[in-house]
């Protein structure tokens, strides 16, 4: 399936761009922004590979991923203001990216004969932990822990993919439908401000105490 | 030794509960609290497995650990206020947990033919680094770096275990005694406010400067 | 090449000292300072080993590295004030250290048949990510992302080493020249305040907004 490979490279570039943009905002230098772009793009897949024992970690052996990151890095710097203005486009690309990363991550884990629930987790980790590592390195509380539906969209897409595989023999259809699920759930939750916060805990002492 | 396996699962649940509680306090959502519960419970063992080259990482292959975490997650949410009130009980369970994690971590490392001092370190890492990763992900300075005797209790228990193995042929006794050492040292240090801070450095510029 | 092995141990001690000093300043206790010393010294090599699949991680099998760290730990505590006053010496030693770590890291990666650009990256990671992990654990934004030329000096040295290997058959010369490059670039950039910040982005919203 070449098309999913190309989507994966595309998602890698998009993730790199978003990482570099955030790092520029933090006034990191040329090296710092490159590292954050790298980590955002391949951090999730790297963690997955370490956990399942895929060695060496995937992107070390595939020059295209490194190239995709450098392209994203260059785009972020050269078209900085234009990219910033394209926030909506970036959001759509990013959302496409997490769908691809989820399904590819799940499929790679499946090659290692792990249980189905572990494969689903590895899909979610592939899609979400690049951003988590980026946030840790930039000294922020990871976004996905608090805002909107992000990991849950990946989780749902991964579950749908696993279920469809049992019933539908056309792999391309399974991949496309489950990626679409991730995209739609994430898009709708963002647009409608859906969250996974329980009201029950609204009066828990949070960061600011007074921000209730 | 089935009993230590069950204690391990019990400790995993307890660690998950404590992670989820902390994440709720930080107002993380349903996903964020689950991830923090997970990381707190299996983070130390995961780091140990990565370092010694145990692949895939242990909990990926054992459904019971994932189940134990979800039970802890459910308990934390359903009995939130009751668990909060049981602070003393949680502390005792947690202290039991780090004893179990230390000895199990040490024994797993020993299977990989590592030197004795490395095995001891792996025991300490198994018990302590789940909390460290939790603190990093929640943007806090890791607790064990500054407060009370925690890692040192694990270290002492691990050393006792190694020494006892040379003299006592009954494995169950060795495990129980060394786990008890961890428990007692941690309990006493907490109760009496023992620390490992050197007075010599009290006048070093710390966080607040004026907090001397 | 025994001399480079000894330099590596020396660099390990120096990195441990610098980590312990920073941890003391943060008022970490005896355990916390030891962990930070450890992580600063072997964190970069550990990450490299995990990424390339070297298992178990290098320092687990070599007692000398653990010894070197404990020597650094002892020096930092015993000669605390004297070491603090020797800031310039520490800087020179540290700069020597990153040169050694870069070239050794690159050579280890090369043994794993990775592409040349991957080996260069692994060299840079070996030298720089101990400090990154230290900064993450102490809740700081990693220094190398923002200040001075650090990773870039390692990168340049690694590239020079790879180029020289094609033309110069005397390995010792290649190692020494490329280490010297790292040293000189880092030293000059520090002395002259060279940075890799683009002026173009000076007006980007940074941390304080008003600090332009």
pLDDT, tens digit, 9 for 90 and up, residues C1-54: 688 899 899 999 999 999 999 999 888 999 999 999 999 999 999 999 999 999
User: In this complex, do B117 and C63 lie within 8 Å of one another by their Cβ atoms?
Assistant: yes
Nearest to A60 among C114, C140, C200 (CB): C114
Is A134 contained in some domain? yes
Confirm if A146 and A122 have CB atoms less than 8 A apart: no
d(CA B32, CA B52): 29
Count of domains for chain C: 1
Q: How much is the pLDDT for A143?
A: 84
Average pLDDT, chain B: 88
Say whether pLDDT at B208 is over 60. no
Residues of C in contact with B136 (CB under 8 A): 136-137
Say whether pLDDT at A205 is over 60. no
Q: In the structure, what pLDDT confidence band is assigned to residue A210 with cuts at 50, 70 and 90? A: very low
Question: Which are the contacts of B11, defined by CB distance < 8 A and separation ≥ 6?
Answer: B93, B96, B97, B98, B100, B101
Query: Distance (Å) from the C-alpha of residue A140 to the closest C-alpha of chain B?
Result: 7
Q: In the structure, what pLDDT confidence band is assigned to residue B202 with cuts at 50, 70 and 90? A: low
Average pLDDT, chain A: 88
Average pLDDT, chain C: 88
Is C179 contained in some domain? no
Q: How much is the pLDDT for B204?
A: 63
Residues of C in contact with B212 (CB under 8 A): none
d(CA C98, CA C95): 5
d(CA A40, CA A147): 18
Q: In the structure, what pLDDT confidence band is assigned to residue C211 with cuts at 50, 70 and 90? A: very low
Say whether pLDDT at B149 is over 90. no
> CA C141, A21, A100: angle at the middle one, nearest 5?
105
Q: How much is the pLDDT for A48?
A: 95
Q: How much is the pLDDT for A115?
A: 92
Helix axes A30-52, A63-78, angle to 10 degrees: 150
Residues of B in contact with A51 (CB under 8 A): 46, 56-57, 60
Q: What average pLDDT does range B168-174 have in this prediction?
A: 90
Q: Does B136 touch chain C (CB under 8 A)?
A: yes
Residues of chain A with pLDDT > 70, as a percent, come to 93
Size of interface A-C (CB pairs under 8 A): 82
Q: In the structure, what pLDDT confidence band is assigned to residue C203 with cuts at 50, 70 and 90? A: low
Q: How much is the pLDDT for A101?
A: 94
Residues of chain A with pLDDT > 90, as a percent, come to 62
The three-class DSSP label of residue A113 is coil
Residue C140, Ramachandran bin (φ over 0: left; ψ between -120 and 50: alpha; else beta)? beta
Say whether pLDDT at B212 is over 70. no
**Mean pLDDT lowest for which of A68-72, A144-148, A161-165?**
A144-148
Say whether pLDDT at A209 is over 50. no
Residues of C in contact with B115 (CB under 8 A): 60-61, 63
Q: What average pLDDT does range A170-179 have in this prediction?
A: 92
Q: How much is the pLDDT for B147?
A: 74
Nearest to A206 among B26, B46, B77 (CB): B26
Is C192 contained in some domain? no
Give the CA diameter of chain C. 55
User: In this complex, do B204 and C27 lie within 8 Å of one another by their Cβ atoms?
Assistant: yes
Is B196 contained in some domain? no
Q: What average pLDDT does range A168-194 have in this prediction?
A: 91
Q: How much is the pLDDT for C129?
A: 95
The tokens describing B36, both together, are 């923090």
When comparing pLDDT for A128 and C61, which is higher?
A128
Is B211 contained in some domain? no
Q: What average pLDDT does range C75-98 have in this prediction?
A: 87
Q: How much is the pLDDT for B207?
A: 45
d(CA B210, CA B194): 23
Nearest to A24 among C52, C139, C204 (CB): C204
d(CA C157, CA B131): 38
Say whether pLDDT at A199 is over 80. no
pLDDT digits (tens, 9 = 90+) for C148-171: 788 999 999 999 999 999 998 898
When comparing pLDDT for A18 and B203, which is higher?
A18
If contacts are CB pairs under 8 Å, which of residues 49-68 in chain B contact chain A? 50, 55-57, 60-61, 63, 66
Q: How much is the pLDDT for B205?
A: 52
Nearest to B146 among C27, C61, C63 (CB): C27
Q: How much is the pLDDT for B211?
A: 37
Confirm if B23 and A145 have CB atoms less than 8 A apart: yes
Q: How much is the pLDDT for A128?
A: 94
Is C91 contained in some domain? yes
Peptide bond into B56 cis (omega under 30): yes
When comparing pLDDT for C180 and A90, which is higher?
C180
Is C156 contained in some domain? no
ipTM attached to this prediction? 0.89
Is B209 contained in some domain? no
d(CA B100, CA B176): 9
Q: Which residue of B has its CA nearest to A135?
A: B137
Q: What average pLDDT does range B48-60 have in this prediction?
A: 92
Residues of A in contact with B24 (CB under 8 A): 201, 204
d(CA A180, CA A186): 10
Say whether pLDDT at C206 is over 70. no
Q: Does C150 touch chain A (CB under 8 A)?
A: yes
By residue range, what is the domain housing residue A52? 2-190
Q: How much is the pLDDT for C176?
A: 93
Say whether pLDDT at A76 is over 50. yes
Cβ-in-10-Å burial (0-12, 13-18, 19+) of A50 comes to: buried
Nearest to B112 among C27, C36, C56 (CB): C56
Residues of chain B with pLDDT > 90, as a percent, come to 62
DSSP structural state of residue A210: S
Say whether pLDDT at B23 is over 60. yes
Q: How much is the pLDDT for B143?
A: 84
Say whether pLDDT at B150 is over 90. no
């Amino acid at each position: 399936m070449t098309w999913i490979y190309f989507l994966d490279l595309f998602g890698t570039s998009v993730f790199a761009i978003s990482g570099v943009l955030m790092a520029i905002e933090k006034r990191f230098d040329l090296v710092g922004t490159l590292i954050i772009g790298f980590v955002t793009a391949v951090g999730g897949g790297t963690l997955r590979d370490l956990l399942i024992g895929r060695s060496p970690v995937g992107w070390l052996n595939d020059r295209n991923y490194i190239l995709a990151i450098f392209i994203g890095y260059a785009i972020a710097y050269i078209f900085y203001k234009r990219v910033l203005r394209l926030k909506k486009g970036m959001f759509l690309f990013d959302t496409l990216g997490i769908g691809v990363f989820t399904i590819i991550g799940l499929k790679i884990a499946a090659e290692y004969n792990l249980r189905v629930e572990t494969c689903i987790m590895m899909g979610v980790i592939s899609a979400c932990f690049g951003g988590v590592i980026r946030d840790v390195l930039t000294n922020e509380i990871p976004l996905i822990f608090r805002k909107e539906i992000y990991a849950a969209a990946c989780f749902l897409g991964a579950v749908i993919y696993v279920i469809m595989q049992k019933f539908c023999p056309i792999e391309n259809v399974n991949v496309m439908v489950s990626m679409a699920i991730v995209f739609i759930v994430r898009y709708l939750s963002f647009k409608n401000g859906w969250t996974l916060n329980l009201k029950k805990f609204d009066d828990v002492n949070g960061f600011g105490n007074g921000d209730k």
